[in-house]
Structure 1
Amino acid sequence: MQASSHTWARTKRIYGPIILLTFFPRGSIAKEFVDRFDVCNEKLKSVWNGTSTFMDMDKAAMQERGYLYTDWPRELPKNTDYPRDQYVTLTYSGCVALCSRGSDQAQLAEPTFALNMVTTWIFPLAIVLSLPYDSLHSHRFVGTATALLNWLGSPQTALTATIFNFHQIRKAHRRAKNSPPAEFSTWNDIYYVISCLNQFDVTSHIREKNSDFFKVLVYALFNPMLADSQNAAARYTKPLLTVIAHQLRMHRRRAFIPTMANLGTFLIALVFSIVLSFAQVGEHTKVDMLVLGLLFTWLPMLVIFTNVDRTPVSADRTGELLSRWLYNVNVVKSWDEDGRPRRPLRWWIPPSMTSQSSNRNGNVDNPFQLGPFIGQGRKLQACCLSSVLMEVGDQLQTERRRNLKDYDTSTPYNDGARKVRNGLVAHPPSSWYKIAVIGLLLVWTSITMALLLAYNTPTIGLGCWSGSFLLFGILSSLTWMLQFIRPQRPPEGVRKICTIINFLSLGWLITVVFLMVTGGTNTCWCNSLHLFPKFGDYVNLESARFYRQYCNVVKSWAGATSLGLAMPTIGILVTSLLWRECQHLWRARERDSIEALRDSNINWVFLT
């Protein structure tokens, strides 16, 4: 950690919130706080002035023992007006001997300083609670913990998944908007269902070579629009599509706008940190809270993208409804392909323990069952189903306009199913790779701004604090790199390795925050950059006011702060506007149920 870390921590008077102070023992707050580095600096200045000695040593004796750093310090400009011989700088051994009495224990932060840090940042960081967790009442602790590790342990990987999914929503929005007005309602349903399907894992059907699943999926989505309006099957598939689209809209989680408002607390806290760092030039000016805020500017981006990624109220219920829909479409498809006289349609039936078609759990065997819910970056996997389905849909529409195939039969849909399956085992589209780079840049921009602020605050160099940010960036990027191993179907071993890495990364991030709040890295070893001696290997004991006046740190502070504040602000505003444009995909009202089900006598299959 830079030498200024002890300067930031040795404040004698900080205006923290009175309410929180009442919960702490009076003795720990009322007792005068003494920072040993501050005391050491005052005594050494008197030695420098020749008015006294320290530990029975004068300046010459200290220099003879190797306690003084006499080279030009990196942070002090060559053309400075401040005399170099008045600038107190100690070697690591000198700091330990003179300021720590031979024991390099951490100088913990003043209690009011820690409280000020907590109220300024720890509370706003509670926006992490706005992430779309699963309910724990169904014994899903492991799944929720894994999702949390993915989100916070490797935010660049989670942003890759969520931004790409939102990109697919935007593509669905544009396709629906460009459809003919008379067909808009149905195409709007089709593309919304596609965007919801993208949240579920269907790779099990690839492993099992279940081609029927993809044939029925393509048939269910595009037969309602591509088949002739007088086609017998379309008279059933279109109402089925209308019903499932309406049900999915009603099961979509609301309250996105309150979540957006909650993100404002983070930006407000960041502004407060900027004011505390720049508004007053004095002994108590500090940038530690600003550094912490810059380190987490990726968090609002992660929260907003996970919430725009179609959060269902119940992922299980949504998956079950989609599976029943495919089951019933398969009934229609088989019925239409049967050349014999029309038989009654045998729809999906509710589970029954006595049913011969039920398994031991009482569930009707359904070969069209979807896999687990993997939306919002919960699992290491590139979700490209919607991208492949939309491309196949475009091809089918082009062929239909050219009258190349008979869309009243299953042949064109079966051909499309083969393309879907092939697309899911191929490499993701180029847009996925571009978005992966964007996700990496967003997180590393945040980390780099915090790192630069810490790096350029005296003692200038890579210390414990800036080095800890760099280590988090490296750990969190390992998972990002591993996601390129078969992105659409990553090996289970790779997923387990990534979970371990994410656990270490998140654990280190929590440790960094704890050390920042408590001042746990305020030691001679960290302040002297002893790990990287080529950067100086010395300790300076001046105040933040001195650094601002003589060391030209304001430029680096301002540059890092401007970019760090702009990134989440612009990201939130732009995403909100784009989300608003796409609302037509999922907009629904309770009273729309009657209209949606008016022409259907099969809605009962979705209501159990």
Structure 2
Amino acid sequence: MPETCRPHLEGREEWNGINNVTIERYMYRGAVRGMNSEYARTSRDKFITITTEGCRELCESPVDFYWHSDITTTLSIISNWILPIIALLSALPYDSLHRRTAGAPWWQTRIMGTLRALLNWVGSPETALTNTLFNIHQMHKCLAETKSSGQGISGNGTLRSLKMDAYYVLSCMGQFNMSEVSKTEFLEPLIYALFRGFVPLDVGEAAALALSTTYPPPNTTPEQRERSEQAKIWTSELLQEMAFQLRMLRRRGVYPSLVNVFLFCVAYAMAVVLAFSDVGERTTAHALALGILVSWLPLLVLFSILDRNPMSADRSRKLMSRWLWNADAIRRWEKYSGIPASQLTPPLIPTGGHPPLPDWWTWNKEENLRALQLQNGPIPLFDPFQQSVRFDPFIGEFVGQGRQMGYHGLALAVVHSVYDSHGIDRRMRSIQDIVVSTRKKLHGSRPWAWWGTALVSLTMVWLFAGMAFMISYNTPTVGFACRSGSYTIYGLLTFGSWFLSLLPSYKHPNNWRRAVAHVFNTLAVLTLILIIFASFSGIFNNCICKGALAGYLDFENAEFYRNKDHFNVYTWWMAGAIVGALPITLSLGWAVRLLIQLKPLWQASEQHNPHVRNPEVDMIWLI
């Protein structure tokens, strides 16, 4: 409260007809929240409190800005909190700002994409954390599938390197928006590309073992057997190269991000020390509340380190599309080899019989196919060996690290579909059975793991908001006021998008549904900006904000609140600081543990390029 009020309250000055007698109408003599009960019983009359109306009448300045009364307070809050918050925001996994794709609308530019991601991160951290933690869960499941357990393919340690490649590529593809992922023309080539190196084209592991003496079938020609073996080798080589490229494209910078998190933790510790060394200084307590409110930010940065985005999402998407083209070309080449021309659909066969090599990707082929698909009118028939599917339209924008709301559970659906059981005697299913099971899981309800991560994310964000509310609410004047109210509003607004994400219609939301969520996110971001500005400006230091619903303001100095016999601010501040610090500490330990565990899945270097390439496998798709 401005010091201009003190002379009027103490009766040392008469102002506008108000003196030590007439001032009584502005005094508040009722119960004071948070006051020690014994002190309230014996010495309540010594505690000066005035009504909110009295504050407005007696105080000359409506707002007590920090830079007017004490500029060091503003500078201290900026250095201790605002700068670490900015450092953490800069450490979030932004996408590269390439030029807009030719013909793309303005809302699909990289800048707009970055703004949308920022709205999701800051406007609804529980929604962003839900998607990030769920993706980490999927990565953990992918890593678990690479470990040898049981019999057959599952327990074959020599295949672990290839499993690492398959499941890492799968986890990366799950970070892209694929609204039509369940379509056969996309899902079947994907499963073939991932698992053809483990099982034959047409049967699963169990069937192949049961027919070990007669598989391949007796009527299979030597040429077909050779092509089957070549298909296995070629798809494995393409998979290894795809995994290597994605690992090299994975964004580095783990240690700089950890430094930013460390700086925030240092700021948090300093705020706690300052708060308890200057008990009663309300600016210190409110600064601590601000730090606790945004303590979800270092957690989001921590987990985004595990769920890293590629240095170029466009490059990754292009490589995935071309890789699938070549894998599907091998699938067609293997599937239709040896089938009489009269039985092919359509009944066309290239001149000279079956082609000696698959229809490898080239830029001209893809552009010609794109031009044909853009034409109005019937598309000419393709022979079975000729690629008729472009995979670019199936692989959408990068949505990892909570950039976009929605359910992205491709990796988990595939992981739960690969084997026929969970026991030690499990066997890998056939490619077609994996496709059917994956499609069924994608069309079904979201798994319990997703709901669990959603609940954990909401609990963490609301825990921080609740502790910030508790500290501000119990800092005299005790009661619901502007600061505690703004924390409540921010928490409720961030809850909006999270609640919408639970609805069935938001499993794969369209642009209009996302726009509704962005309204909540935008309001939440604006509220947080106001909270941060108020923390170092003192804009909430006015009569209305201090009195608020309590209807009165206290008028004591810091020394008064340092006395535990008057107000027990220690209890509330200590509880808020400890409870607020626990999730950060535990999450830091958990994140480091996960980083060590998951590192083998994505670890790569230029010195560990895949083996010598087969000259028959065209690698022009890497350009």
TM-score (norm 1): 0.84
1:244 aligns with: 242
Cα 1:396–1:317 change in 2 (3 A) is farther
Q: How many pairs does the alignment contain? A: 547
1:185 aligns with: 161
Matched letter for residue 237 of structure 1: T
Counterpart Cα distance in 1 of 2:241 and 2:403:
28
Cα 1:556–1:396 change in 2 (3 A) is closer
1:128 aligns with: 89
- Which of 17, 28, 40 pairs up with 1:69? 28
Per-residue deviation at 1:485?
A: 2.2
| Residue 173 (structure 1) aligned with residue 173 (structure 2) | no
- Which of 435, 447, 452 pairs up with 1:429? 447
1:220 aligns with: 193
1:381 aligns with: 406
Matched letter for residue 98 of structure 1: L
Per-residue deviation at 1:454?
A: 0.1
| Residue 201 (structure 1) aligned with residue 177 (structure 2) | yes
2:64–2:538 Cα contact (<8 Å) kept: yes
Cα 1:592–1:43 change in 2 (3 A) is same
Counterpart Cα distance in 1 of 2:332 and 2:373:
27
Cα 1:191–1:508 change in 2 (3 A) is same
1:246–1:596 Cα contact (<8 Å) kept: no
Cα 1:418–1:54 change in 2 (3 A) is same
Deviations 1:64-116 (A, max 9, x none): xx31111121122220187221211001111111123xxx7222113332122
Counterpart Cα distance in 2 of 1:355 and 1:99:
74
Q: Matched residue of 2:50: which SS?
A: strand
2:28–2:552 Cα contact (<8 Å) kept: yes
Matched letter for residue 204 of structure 1: E
Counterpart Cα distance in 2 of 1:285 and 1:500:
32
Deviations 1:400-428 (A, max 9, x none): 9569x7xxxxxx32232122222222211
1:243–1:596 Cα contact (<8 Å) kept: no
Per-residue deviation at 1:361?
A: 12
Which is worse superposed, 372-381 or 224-233? 224-233
Counterpart Cα distance in 2 of 1:152 and 1:68:
42
2:561–2:567 Cα contact (<8 Å) kept: yes
2:299–2:587 Cα contact (<8 Å) kept: yes
Structure 2 residues without counterparts, runs of 5 or longer: 101-109, 149-154, 201-207, 209-224, 340-352, 375-386
Matched letter for residue 350 of structure 1: T
Cα 1:537–1:272 change in 2 (3 A) is same
Deviations 1:360-403 (A, max 9, x none): 999x9743221221111111111100000101112389899569
Counterpart Cα distance in 1 of 2:500 and 2:307:
23
Cα 1:452–1:600 change in 2 (3 A) is farther
Cα 1:396–1:343 change in 2 (3 A) is farther
| Residue 107 (structure 1) aligned with residue 64 (structure 2) | yes
2:613 aligns with: 598
| Residue 160 (structure 1) aligned with residue 130 (structure 2) | yes
Structure 1 residues without counterparts, runs of 5 or longer: 1-5, 7-36, 406-411
- Which of 38, 41, 52 pairs up with 2:6? 41
1:447–1:470 Cα contact (<8 Å) kept: yes
Which is worse superposed, 437-446 or 316-325? 316-325
Counterpart Cα distance in 2 of 1:500 and 1:479:
9
Cα 1:353–1:417 change in 2 (3 A) is closer
Cα 1:356–1:86 change in 2 (3 A) is closer
Matched letter for residue 595 of structure 2: W
Cα 1:397–1:318 change in 2 (3 A) is farther
Per-residue deviation at 1:452?
A: 0.3
Q: Structure 1 stretches (4+) deviating beyond 6 angstroms?
A: 282-285, 396-400
Counterpart Cα distance in 2 of 1:83 and 1:397:
71
Which is worse superposed, 467-476 or 247-256? 247-256
Counterpart Cα distance in 2 of 1:289 and 1:310:
31
- Which of 96, 106, 115 pairs up with 2:56? 96
Q: Matched residue of 2:553: which SS?
A: strand
2:117–2:403 Cα contact (<8 Å) kept: yes
Per-residue deviation at 1:528?
A: 0.7
Counterpart Cα distance in 1 of 2:516 and 2:452:
24
Q: Matched residue of 2:419: which SS?
A: helix
Per-residue deviation at 1:117?
A: 1.2
Counterpart Cα distance in 2 of 1:125 and 1:511:
15
Cα 1:98–1:402 change in 2 (3 A) is closer
Matched letter for residue 203 of structure 1: S
Counterpart Cα distance in 2 of 1:191 and 1:154:
30
Which is worse superposed, 71-80 or 487-496? 487-496
1:324–1:348 Cα contact (<8 Å) kept: no
Counterpart Cα distance in 2 of 1:380 and 1:281:
42
- Which of 362, 368, 373 pairs up with 1:350? 362
Counterpart Cα distance in 1 of 2:126 and 2:562:
34
Cα 1:285–1:200 change in 2 (3 A) is closer
Q: Matched residue of 2:37: which SS?
A: coil
Per-residue deviation at 1:574?
A: 1.3
Matched letter for residue 325 of structure 1: W
2:203 aligns with: none
2:48–2:554 Cα contact (<8 Å) kept: yes
Cα 1:334–1:349 change in 2 (3 A) is closer
| Residue 395 (structure 1) aligned with residue 420 (structure 2) | yes
Per-residue deviation at 1:148?
A: 0.7
Matched letter for residue 185 of structure 2: D
- Which of 469, 477, 488 pairs up with 1:451? 469
2:420–2:426 Cα contact (<8 Å) kept: no
Cα 1:402–1:607 change in 2 (3 A) is closer
Matched letter for residue 270 of structure 1: Y
| Residue 138 (structure 1) aligned with residue 99 (structure 2) | yes
- Which of 498, 511, 518 pairs up with 1:480? 498
Counterpart Cα distance in 2 of 1:197 and 1:188:
14
1:79 aligns with: 38
Per-residue deviation at 1:598?
A: 3.5
Counterpart Cα distance in 1 of 2:539 and 2:312:
43
2:419–2:426 Cα contact (<8 Å) kept: no
Matched letter for residue 175 of structure 1: E
1:597–1:603 Cα contact (<8 Å) kept: no
2:561 aligns with: 547
1:14 aligns with: none
Cα 1:287–1:459 change in 2 (3 A) is same
Deviations 1:233-270 (A, max 9, x none): 21221111111111111111112122112210100111
Matched letter for residue 619 of structure 2: W
Per-residue deviation at 1:326?
A: 1.2
Cα 1:93–1:191 change in 2 (3 A) is same
Deviations 1:561-590 (A, max 9, x none): 011122212212211111111111011111
1:96–1:524 Cα contact (<8 Å) kept: yes
Counterpart Cα distance in 2 of 1:399 and 1:490:
39
